[in-house]
Amino acid sequence: MGPMDRGKRYENLARQVSAIGAVKRGLARTLPAECPGGSAIVLALLHHHGDMRIGRVSELMAVDMSVSSRHVAHTVDRGWVERLPDPADKRSRILHLTPAGESMLAVLDRRLTDMLARTLAEWSDDDVELLTDLLARLRDSFGDCRAHHA
């Protein structure tokens, strides 16, 4: 493969990666109106990583503290997350996913899974598995992008 072919291959890849925004927007449309994307991410992070301070949420979301604070406030207002005293520093708060938050997360997971199943119904199981593996590999190739934003 010559250098021109290689450049063209990466140009095509760049176009396809840019188009992932449309996929993300399509997935976001499946979220209930009361749980926008930022709130859904907060719930997923707490479910996956456990209780944490808001600074850690900001770091994992790769956003400024003011942005994560708005998302956290939204989840707290709806009773999905509670702020508990930090045992290590009583002046700080730890974010904890409530049973209501777990229930909302189950709704989100079901909606996203159902949407993907409908959208990819014509895909073979092997193709879905291949896409999953390749997307994970792509993310790994970029490393932990969050570390550069924290």
Residue 7 has phi, psi (to 5 degrees) of: -60, -40
**Whole-number pLDDT of residue 119:** 95
Residues 89, 70, 110, 112, Cα dihedral to 10°: -130
List domains and CATH numbers for the chain: 27-139 (1.10.10.10)
**Whole-number pLDDT of residue 2:** 61
**What is residue 106's three-state secondary structure?**
helix
**Whole-number pLDDT of residue 150:** 39
Q: How far is CA 136 from CA 125, 140, 141, in A?
A: 17, 6, 9
Residues (pLDDT < 70) of the chain are 1-4, 144-150
Residues 6+ apart with CB under 8 A from 53: 86, 92, 93, 94, 95
Compute the distance between CA of residue 94 and CA of residue 87 in angstroms, rounded to an integer.
9
For residue 22, give the amino acid letter. A
- Residue 143, sorted as left (phi over 0), alpha (psi -120 to 50) or beta, turns out to be left
**Whole-number pLDDT of residue 71:** 97
